Amino acid sequence: MEKQERLFLIKEQLLTDAMKKTLQAKELLEKEEVSSVLEAVEQVGLSRSAFYKYRDAIFPFQMIVKEKLVSLFIELDHRSGTLSTLLSIVATYHGNIVTINQSIPLQGKASITVSLDVSKMKQFSEFIEQIKLLDAVNSVKVIGSGM
């Protein structure tokens, strides 16, 4: 049985130094004040490994509220090209992937958790239906939303 991912909202003063520095490095990269991850982590005094450990797991609350974030849990058959087709649908509907995590396929099945910025999407319901129409997709569930 797969353990469901849990999300928490915590105050900044409770974050570790590495988490705070990861947020600082991400901000430098987003504002294009640095040209590489190496330059960003050196500027804030963080190792690259710590940055990559926390990069996809920590976000400022204001960013999640500002950007319309939706998390989807997708169960699918493990077939070549399925993920590529899924990503093409995201692009077609002007979604922007924030994070993506795929399980190791077992018995020909895999699960994907995708967090999307859907602020530029106009037809979210149609987007979900297009994903459900894919031959290899068994189910699509919205597991979180900042909409």
- What pLDDT is recorded for position 110? 92
Residue 24: CB partners within 8 Å, gap ≥ 6? Answer: 44, 46
- What pLDDT is recorded for position 62? 58
Q: What spatial distance separates the first Cα and last Cα of the chain, rounded to whole Å? A: 29
Is residue 117 within 8 Å of 91, Cβ to Cβ? no
Tokens of 107: 């018995």
Tokens of 96: 């922007």
- What pLDDT is recorded for position 142? 84
Is residue 45 within 8 Å of 93, Cβ to Cβ? no
- What pLDDT is recorded for position 4? 59
pLDDT digits (tens, 9 = 90+) for 122-133: 788 889 999 999
pTM: 0.55
Which residues of the chain fall short of a pLDDT of 70?
A: 1-7, 61-67, 145-147
- What pLDDT is recorded for position 9? 73
